[in-house]
Structure 1
Amino acid sequence: MGDTVVGVYYRPPDQQEEVDEAFYRQLEVASRSQALVFMGNFNHPDICWKGNTARHTQSRRFLQSTDDNFLTQVVEKPMRRGVLLDLVLTNKEGLVGDVKVGDSLGCSDHEMVEFRNLCGRKREISRITTLDFRRANFGLFRDLLGRIPWVRALEGVH
């Protein structure tokens, strides 16, 4: 079925831009995975996910990074004071489902986010074969074709 890369991240509200940029470089590498689920508190309260906009430069840079890496944010219900801080990002449609925002865990002011990883679903097996012509032995191919009488006859006709 393939592997799913799962990541967890906490970004402090006062994190420096240099640290954010280091994170974006790591996120770019992780997003090349066939299936990625990335969750955490990213602390960008000014992001409007419906309009994909933000007031602050660091938040706009975060949105740009998610767009550049083809990541989709799947949490829809605001958590803390009507703001989405805890996010679940994925690079594959249909990988995450049944997202629910629940109660707080212990004394935390964060609410729990539950979701199902749907990668275990049965996928159809493709019967299409793709040939890798970079590995072909064209010299042998020409030699074999040259042994066919009608091909030799065609070689004389140009």
Structure 2
Amino acid sequence: MGCRREEVRKAKARLELGLATAVKENKKSFYKYTNGKRKTKGNVCPLIDAAGNVTTDDKEKAEVLSAFFTSAFNSQSSYLRGTLCPDLDIWADTQHVSPEIEVEAVRELLLHLDSHKSMGADGLHPRVLRELAGVIAEPLSAICQRSWLTGEVPEDWRLAGVTPIYKKGRKEDPGKHRPVSLTSAPGKVMEQILLGEITRLASMGS
């Protein structure tokens, strides 16, 4: 299955390259293909808000979904703000240790980004980051190091493009939609670094 998927991706890449190369001689095929890619599904149907009112305006529907997704996330979190999950208590005493984030480790993570994934709200496409890994690795490692030391995350890394996907049941019910988000690729690299360090420190404390 994996090999077939890769073959399909390569065939698609060859098709797109051919269309882009021959755009001057065959504009019709090029724009037909790109316009087809730009087509999106219909808007979300009217939704019922917490007060029982029907919302039809796109902005209002977005606010209804945002409120519901936020409440669902918060209700699933059983830890108070500022406290550690019990699984992380074992490395709490080692938090003063600031690991050095290696440039090579960041470069390796960049090289393994899926270039077929969409870009996040920051506008940085994984394919660009992957192809420029040799140039980006050093400044990105410095940003990650600074983020670790200060406990702050770049604002763009906290943004996400969220799309509601209808599941089943009453379409007017916000609870019948699930959020699918596109987040920052550099932010995902930072997450992998944190995961590695947390795992390492946890193994030291066990």
TM-score by length of 2: 0.17
Structure possessing the higher radius of gyration over alpha carbons: 1
Structure with greater strand percent: 1
